[in-house]
Amino acid sequence: MSEHVIHATDADFDAAVLQSAEPVLVDFWAPWCGPCKMIAPALDELADDYAGKVKIAKVNVDENRATALKYHVRSIPMLLLFKDGQVQATQIGAVGKAQLAQLIDKAI
């Protein structure tokens, strides 16, 4: 796992994501979700590739239900790209690293 991936919770989501100076790609996931596990290595690589430009955050939906509800997370993995506290892009389902990089590149 990349040291650049942050784990956000209901308690620190606003500070970690909404108030971030950099765009933040948030991965809403759960430990039992197969597709979530499939995209985890790509997210780790992106966290390293974009270090200093974009943050990658993970939110465990089982442990942080309030945040998942707030952003209407109904299926996982669901990725939301935040910039200046606003959702800029949404990706639902497992996709490859290249598609995730495109999502990020559009926002920065």
Q: Which residues are catalytic?
A: 33, 36
Calpha distance 16→6 (Å, rounded) = 8
On whether the CB atoms of residues 42 and 97 are closer than 8 A, the answer is yes
On whether the CB atoms of residues 26 and 17 are closer than 8 A, the answer is yes
Peptide bond into 77 cis (omega under 30): yes
Q: For residue 2, how far is the Cα from the chain centroid? A: 13
Residue type, 38: M
